[in-house]
Chains A and B, each alone.
Chain A
Amino acid sequence: MSKTVNLKIDGVNVEVPEGYTILDAAYKAGIKIPTLCYMKDLNAIGACRLCLVEVEGARSYLAACVTTVSEGMVVNTNTPALRKSRQKTLELILSNHRTDCLSCARNTNCELQTLCHENNVDMDRFGRSNLEPDIDDSAVHLIRDNSKCILCRRCVAACSVNQHVAVIGPTKRGYDTHIGSAFGDPLDATSCIHCGQCIVVCPVGALTEKDESEQVWAALADPTKHVIAAPAPSVRVQLGECFGMPIGTNVHGKLPAALRRMGFDSIFDVDTAADLTIMEEGTELLDRINNGGVLPLITSCSPGWIKFCEYYFPEFIPNLSSCKSPQQMMGSVSKTYFAEKQGIDPKDIFVVSIMPCTAKKFEKTRAGQSASGYPDIDAVLTTRELANMIKRANIIFDKLPDEDFDPVFGMASGAAHIFGATGGVMEAALRTVSEILTGDDAPKIDFSEVRGTKGIKEAEYDLAGIKVKVAVTSGLENAHQLLTMIKNGEKEYHFIEVMACPGGCVNGGGQPIQPSFVTNNLNLRHTRAMGLYNQDAGMQLRKSIDNPVMNELYDTYFGKPGSHKAHEILHTTYVEREIY
């Protein structure tokens, strides 16, 4: 038993483990101390001064997010002076914040707005700011508007602490302080990997994805275009959050129903392409193991990870699976196999992928991603952009019936669904690879060692006498540590799954933004991932290799996994990039 500490907060006696902050102790006592810059396990710097509390005997107010509890402490969080202090702090922040709330992407989902509302703030107390937009829209995936930035540094922490990229940071001092890149360079000139983790931690509208919804509306209105919608695995357990549903709700049936009503001509499931990825990647793994290929094989589904590898670990490029990501496979088979089958010219097909990810907006622009001669993917929407489009289409989401995806690419295995969580790609691959190796059509299904939100997971499996050592990691700081250990010869594996975002796609940069009060007190990654694992557990079809769509595709089109044709359409190459 670890030691505990007794203290009193707002008259409530509370006992918490030693080392707790006042903020966490208050939460346990049912008290919500307001915060703005604080993010659990990421950014505890006591900068915003909203969580100030009165500690009896202390000389000044203390920041609850960085002050640890001590025995007998008496804390007040709700005195008239503290309420006044919070109000003034918010009014000062507002005086230097461009308040175009009505047209701001974060309107109604802005932590500053909520706090101002809750604290009865006077917007005019220090005069309204007359700030002009201060925009960097150089990168393919996001727009930074520093006139809305409140300098909480949450994005800086996400970029450096979680992602090991560190291309943004505070620059200059005092009034001139702003978040930017070295030498005032535009983000596009840096080694940004487009993961979008900065966007999902931003409490205000200073960081938003580059919205592609207008292009999609235009395509939908164009009668000459066959517009295909293709949502990724994790989108179905997240989209509901945008419509007030509990976190982790699976809307697998409502998702195609909404897309159909918006006017998409075909509604395909990227999960089907995830099964295709497993067929190709599993074959690649077996080939490398049997024929002395470069090992460990490392997954290539996460475009943020791919770009990180190209910048920071180019020596591992030969280890990357040559398979395109499920998004790109979806686009390439839509414009080749599907186009031929339906007799549609691929130039008239417009593929819209719906992704948990902002790096997918970059991935679609990469070289070698146009199997049909036209780009595999035409537009990438994040889960958030899709939610906004559904609202604009006047659809009452929670009243939608459950419908199916369209045939051809509408059926997927449980293995494909779990692609959206860290460990999911690994588990999906192991299910199919173990069937191929053992020849047993009812092999091991649950590889629970690779599940969960731990930063680095390891396991060793015996598949028909072949020992396969695997590792799974998410968050690029973790990936950095894992690859460094491999480089130094401390670790050896056959197969590694890397996802750029901590927790995998369920915590991707394109997912619905939950306020820090939620993320600080709930294991968001786990709750969202459970929506996927529960769906998988309830299915008959749990292995990619059993998906009838795969039989059809390989029998009539590709021949076999890893065939010449499969390589032309489903595989790609990578480039070494110079660190900025």
Chain B
Amino acid sequence: MKNTVVVPYTGTPEQENELKEWLIENKDMQGLTMPALQKAQEIFGYLPRAAQTIISEHTGVSLEELYGIATFYSMFRLYPVGDYKISVCMGTACYVKNSQNILDKLEVLLKIKEGETTPDGKFSLESCRCIGACGLAPVIMINEDVYGRLTGDELEGILAKY
């Protein structure tokens, strides 16, 4: 269950200050933790360790608890979105057409796990629910491009285009 990749921190001091200022402004808010994580994701685009550490210092909520929340809810990202965001459809139709195999193959090719981003920041990999192209199952999307009726063998070629 260890994290497999380390993506360089992309945050800036300005972003850190924005988060700190927001935390000071809202320090009396009840149930501050969730809004704080949402705000941090809005500022940084994801929840880097630095942002979670800042929230922990300001709220007294332990880093472990924040990390537990961040990994529980699928809306939180622990990695920045890559230049190319790959979404593997795991909706019912794609799933029965073995989209798990597509996801597994992509994990091997990109050397990252679902939810992670390649260290160079190029690709991020995630699963999604039905994208409305069931007729093409199994389907993946890379940014706005849709690739369907995949067997897995074509993935290497598809990735090479980017």
Contacts and interface: CB of A to CB of B under 8 A. Distances in A.
A190 B49 CA distance: 14
Contacts of B1: 134, 146, 171-172, 176, 178, 180, 184
Interface string B81-115: 00000000000000000000000000000000000
Contact of B68 (A134, A169, A580): A169
Contact of A166 (B2, B52, B62): B62
Interface string A154-170: 00000010000011111
A166 B64 contact: yes
A166 B61 CA distance: 9
Interface residues of B, number: 15
Contacts of B65: 160, 166, 169
Contacts of A166: 62, 64-65
B66 interface: yes
Nearest to B115: A172
Interface string B60-79: 00111111100110100000
B3 A183 contact: yes
A182 B72 contact: no
Contacts of A171: 1, 67-68, 71
A169 B72 contact: no
Bin chain A's interface residue count. 20 to 34
Contacts of B3: 183-184
Which among A167, A176, A182 has the highest number of chain B CB atoms within 10 Å? Answer: A182
B73 to A, nearest CB: 8
Nearest to B66: A182
A173 interface: yes
Contacts of B63: 182, 580
A172 B72 contact: yes
A183 B67 contact: yes
B68 A160 contact: no
A146 B74 CA distance: 23
A21 interface: no
Interface string A162-206: 000011111111001010111110000010000000000000000
A183 B62 contact: no
B49 to A, nearest CB: 6
Nearest to A178: B1
A169 B52 CA distance: 15
Interface string A458-479: 0000000000000000000000
| B52, B62, B67 — most chain A CB neighbours (10 Å) | B62
Interface string B8-45: 00000000000000000000000000000000000000
A3 B35 CA distance: 41
Interface string A217-254: 00000000000000000000000000000000000000
Given A146-B1, A180-B1, A173 B71 contact: yes
A151 to B, nearest CB: 12
A182 B64 contact: yes
Nearest to A580: B63
A172 B76 CA distance: 11
A181 B2 CA distance: 10
Nearest to B61: A166
B2, B3, B74: most-surrounded residue (chain A CB, <10 A): B2
B20 to A, nearest CB: 17
A184 B66 CA distance: 13
Contacts of B74: 173
Contacts of B2: 184
A183 B71 CA distance: 9
Interface string A62-94: 000000000000000000000000000000000
B64 A167 contact: yes
28 contacts: A146-B1, A160-B65, A166-B62, A166-B64, A166-B65, A167-B62, A167-B64, A168-B64, A169-B62, A169-B67, A171-B68, A171-B71, A172-B1, A172-B72, A173-B72, A173-B74, A178-B1, A180-B1, A181-B64, A182-B49, A182-B52, A182-B66, A183-B3, A183-B67, A184-B1, A184-B2, A184-B3, A190-B64
Given A180-B1, A184-B2, 12 more contacts: A166-B62, A168-B64, A169-B62, A169-B67, A171-B68, A171-B71, A172-B72, A182-B52, A182-B66, A183-B3, A183-B67, A580-B63
Q: Sorted from nearest, which 3 A-B pairs have the closest CB atoms?
A: A166-B62, A182-B67, A169-B64
Interface of B: 1-3, 49, 52, 62-68, 71-72, 74
